[in-house]
Structure 1
Amino acid sequence: MGINIKGIGHVGILVSDFERSFKFYTEVLGLQVTNHRKRPDGSETAFLRFDETHHDVVIAAAPAGVDVSDAIPANARLVQQIAFQVEDRDEFMRALAHLHTKGVKILNGPTTHGIESDNNIYGSGSRSFYFSDPDGNRLEIFTDGMKVRNGERFPSPDYQEALEDFMKTQRGVGV
């Protein structure tokens, strides 16, 4: 027996400068505000959404004395990354162009995870690029990931052996 999880409902993150992060997630990434609360103690929380879902991302001011800033090295963060899926390659290119015009530095990519660019037949095939939010949390925009159909293993047994041979004989790479 297990839990039949269908996906991630939302991601909540603590931020060091609420106003800066609020502007980033709403003005740069374009999330819509469902609710923005300021408590009597001055702390703030915002419930943000992509479409009609009540919230997909929640940002909240970090408690006093808690450092969640980019001063924390990437390998010491509690959240490794947050990946945002876009509909297709056109939206992927729009997102890249938009972030560039907003002055967001792309840290890695664009790349394709798989046989196309990193010789990895086990990769998802998704196109991705990575950047940081104002606190240094790594974010990803991606599209076109492979599907794992009918509970099969990946890559599909229908073509795994042929791809392994292709990598060895035509690319000179062991899998």
Structure 2
Amino acid sequence: MAINYTALGHVALRCRDYQKMLDFYVKKLGCEELFHLDNDDGSLWLTYVRTAKGQFVELFPEDYPGDNDALKQSPHHFCFEVDDFAGFVRQLRERGVTVYDGPANTHPVMAGEPEDRARGMCGSLCAFIQDPEGNDIEIMQFTDASMQLICDR
């Protein structure tokens, strides 16, 4: 029997500074704070932030020992697919979010206007940002030349 996946449901992030991370995902990225769950003692356990219907980022207010250096860890980045790359990049810049050509530790700040952005090797439009705790986030819009769509027919 084949396994039928329907979506990647969520990405879970530990947060040293929970309020700063929640503000970033809600106020800077425009995600919706959907609900939170509490521990038995009444303390906050996690918050679900919706990125799109049925897709979420879970924020856990708990410290962690790592430094989120993507060059030293297995999780490289996660990606948000958007339907208006140029508009989203403009909105991020207006909200004070730095946009990079690729992962922030290895690529420069994205120069120029987002409308002039060349397609990447896979045929999609993409750029990267970092959340306040250094997690790399790719922003991607598929195009008619996107290998993700061509190969997934």
TM-score by length of 2: 0.74
What residue in structure 2 maps to residue 85 of structure 1?
Answer: 81
Which of 126, 135, 138 is the equivalent residue of 1:137? 135
What residue in structure 1 maps to residue 25 of structure 2?
Answer: 25
1:98 deviates by: 1.2
The reply to whether residue 148 of structure 1 matches residue 144 of structure 2 is no
Larger C-alpha radius of gyration, 1 or 2? 1
Gaps of 5+ in 1: 115-123, 152-175
1:106 deviates by: 1.5
The reply to whether residue 13 of structure 1 matches residue 13 of structure 2 is yes
Alpha-carbon distance in 2 for matches of 1:72, 1:35:
26
Query: In structure 1, what residue type is equivalent to 2:19?
Result: E
Between the two proteins, the alignment pairs up a number of residues equal to 134
Which of 71, 75, 90 is the equivalent residue of 2:71? 75
Question: In the superposition, relative to structure 1, how do residues 4 and 38 fare at CA in structure 2: closer, same or farther (>3 Å)?
Answer: closer
Q: What does 1:96-111 correspond to in 2, within 5 Å?
A: 96-108=89-101, 109=110, 110-111=117-118
Question: In the superposition, relative to structure 1, how do residues 12 and 4 fare at CA in structure 2: closer, same or farther (>3 Å)?
Answer: same
1:2 deviates by: 4.7
Residues 79 and 137, structure 1, Cα contact 8 Å, conserved in 2: no
Question: In the superposition, relative to structure 1, how do residues 101 and 150 fare at CA in structure 2: closer, same or farther (>3 Å)?
Answer: closer
What residue in structure 1 maps to residue 104 of structure 2?
Answer: none
Query: In structure 1, what residue type is equivalent to 2:88?
Result: A
1:149 deviates by: 4.7
Gaps of 5+ in 2: 102-109, 111-116
Secondary structure at the counterpart of residue 87 of structure 2: helix
Secondary structure at the counterpart of residue 91 of structure 2: helix
1:26 deviates by: 0.6
Q: Deviations over 1:7-66 (max 9, x none)?
A: 31221111211100000011111111221234337444111113443x52111122x4x2
Query: In structure 2, what residue type is equivalent to 1:113?
Result: G
Query: In structure 1, what residue type is equivalent to 2:30?
Result: G
Alpha-carbon distance in 1 for matches of 2:152, 2:19:
45
Alpha-carbon distance in 2 for matches of 1:72, 1:126:
26
Residues 18 and 44, structure 1, Cα contact 8 Å, conserved in 2: no
Q: Deviations over 1:82-114 (max 9, x none)?
A: 100011xxx211111111112111222455212
Alpha-carbon distance in 2 for matches of 1:79, 1:41:
31
Taking CA–CA contacts closer than 8 Å with sequence separation of 6 or more, which of the two structures ends up with the larger relative contact order? 2
1:5 deviates by: 2.4
